[in-house]
Amino acid sequence: MDEAAFLDLALRNPVNREIAARLPALDLPDAWLVSGSLFQSVWNGLTGRDVLHGIKDYDVFYFDPDTSWEAEDKIIRQCAALLADLGAPVEVRNQARVHLWYPQKFGSAYPPLSSATEGIDRFLAPASMVGLSLSGAARRVYAPHGLADVGAMIVRPSGVPNFSAERYAEKAARWKASWPEVTVIPA
């Protein structure tokens, strides 16, 4: 799968399209729409399903050196107001803060990141390691392992430092239930 085909299918989802159109107005530093809403929209296009099928939420990453909860909460509230009419759950996270809460939530260490794309690099499967830039007018795709697994509907373990076989199995099972065509490679 090439970048043009990926963007075409991902942006057929009207929620992705609206997030991509609206969020640059907030001028978030290093902002990206990431993972599920993108690759799952592509899978929906490839399998002829409704563009919204199986999409749990829409994740936006950004990177701001201000790691205070107050600063992140302000951005979360701004995004919620901007996107409220979409009727879709949007989760906004400052990747500069992940190392502060990750160990308590998931029970393992998470080294500090230096960019939002480093957060994408930590996803559990290469097919989920995708992002669409929301900074500036130009659309950029970030896919550190390419788009082949997305296009072939293959889910394989990434082996990243924070990899959890249990979380991988849970996500892979959920994806397989929604898209039976997916090939899952066990961890």
**Interval 50-104: pLDDT, tens:** 999 999 999 999 999 999 999 999 999 999 999 999 999 999 999 999 999 999 9
The mean pLDDT of 165-184, rounded to a whole number, is 96
Query: Which amino acid is present at 146?
Result: G
SS3 state of residue 121: coil
Dmax (CA) for the chain in angstroms is: 43
Q: For 142-168, how does the pLDDT look when each residue is reduced to its tens digit (9 = 90+)?
A: 999 999 999 999 999 998 887 889 999
What pLDDT, on a 0 to 100 scale, did the predictor assign at position 108?
85
What pLDDT, on a 0 to 100 scale, did the predictor assign at position 159?
87
pLDDT of 136 > 80? The answer is no
Q: CA-CA distance, 107 to 130, in Å (whole number)? A: 25
pLDDT of 184 > 90? The answer is yes
CATH match of 3-152 with 3.20.20:
no
- pLDDT tier for residue 106 given thresholds of 50, 70 and 90: confident
**Nearest alpha-carbon partner for 61 in 30, 22, 87, 25:** 30
Assign residue 132 a region: left if phi > 0, alpha if psi is -120 to 50, beta otherwise? beta
User: How many helices (H) does the chain have, and how many strands (E)?
Assistant: 8, 7
Neighbour count for residue 78 (Cβ, 10 Å) = 15
SS3 state of residue 162: coil
Q: Which helix (H) or strand (E) holds 142?
A: strand 141-142
- pLDDT tier for residue 34 given thresholds of 50, 70 and 90: very high
CA 75 to chain CA centroid, nearest Å? 17
- For residues 118 and 47, the answer to whether their CB atoms sit within 8 Å is no
